[in-house]
Amino acid sequence: MQDQSRKRHIAKAITWRIVGTIDTIVLSWIITGNPLTGLKIGLAEVVSKMVLYYIHERVWFKINLSKKGIVRESRKRHIAKTFTWRGVGTLDTMLLSWLVTGNPLTGLKIGLSELLTKMILYYLHERVWYRTNYGLKNRVK
C-alpha cells in the first residue's frame, strides 16, 4: 500500500500544480498588469509547491491511517485538507510574489486573492481524486 499511495500522491501533486499554476499566473497577471510577471511568479511556484504539496499529502496520509491500514475519506476531511493546504500555499505565494516583484504589498495582494479561488479549485480537485482508485487498494467510503 505504501508504494501505491506514493504514486497516487505524486500524481495528485502534479495535477494540482497544473491547476494551481494556471490560477497563480492569471491572478498575478491581473494584479500586476504584466503577463511576464505572472509567468515568473507562476513558474517560481512550480518546484516549491510540488515539494510542499507532496509533504502535505504524506502528512495527511499518515494522520488518516486506521489501525487496519485502510484510508478513510470524507467531505469533512477534504475541507480540512483544503484549509491546511491553503495556509501553506498562500504563505509560499506571498513570499515568492514579494521576491519576484520586490514589493511586499504586491505579494500580499496576490496571496490573498488566491485564498478563495484556490480553496474552491482545491476542493474540486480533491473530489475528483476521491472518485478514482488510482494508488489505492482499500478504501472505506
Q: What is the pLDDT of residue 53?
A: 84
Strand pairing class (139-140; 71-72): parallel
Chain segment 53-94, per-residue pLDDT in tens: 889 988 888 876 554 555 566 778 888 888 898 899 899 999
Beta carbons within 8 Å of 108's beta carbon, 6+ residues apart: 94, 98
What's the predicted TM-score (pTM) here? 0.74
At 84-122, the pLDDT tens digits run: 988 998 999 999 999 999 999 999 999 999 888 988 998
- pLDDT score, position 2: 55
Give the CA-trace dihedral at 63, 67, 71, 74, to 10 degrees.
-70
Mean local confidence (pLDDT), 11-33: 93
